[in-house]
Amino acid sequence: MKTCKSSDGKSDGQEWIYTDIVKDHFLNPRNFLMGDESKFKADAVGLVGNPICGDQMKMFIKVKDDKIIDIAWKTYGCASAIASTSALSELAKGKTLDEALNITAKDIDNYLGNLPKHKFHCSILGHDALRDAIEKYRSGK
């Protein structure tokens, strides 16, 4: 954990509870779909949400020869939700559909250097959004 500092360099007593890699993925998300969704010609789209915390994740995949050749996403949620979806998109890109399905919420959490325990559910949501997209792709929906 890092202690937050004010502009004069003094500690304000608050702690940043995220790792540097979570911060990086939150501030510089990878594969984020900005703007019009129709411009990303996805083969399938997965959507999940958590009514308790309000997070929602949408995962767009392009598939060729059973591999995810491109991936994009949109997330409405906190820093953990955004970082988790960004990390997942990096982990899944270039993988076969089965390999991508085997990426677990714990894999995402490990990649990010561990989310706070009360934010672990964000990595589960990303995993579920990708699973939904793959299942829709396979079923032709």
| 110-114 long-range contacts, CB within 8 A, separation 24+ | 111/21, 111/87, 112/19, 112/21, 112/22, 112/25, 112/83, 112/84, 112/87, 113/19, 113/20, 113/21, 113/22, 114/19
16 token code pair: 């940043």
As annotated, the active-site residues are 53, 122
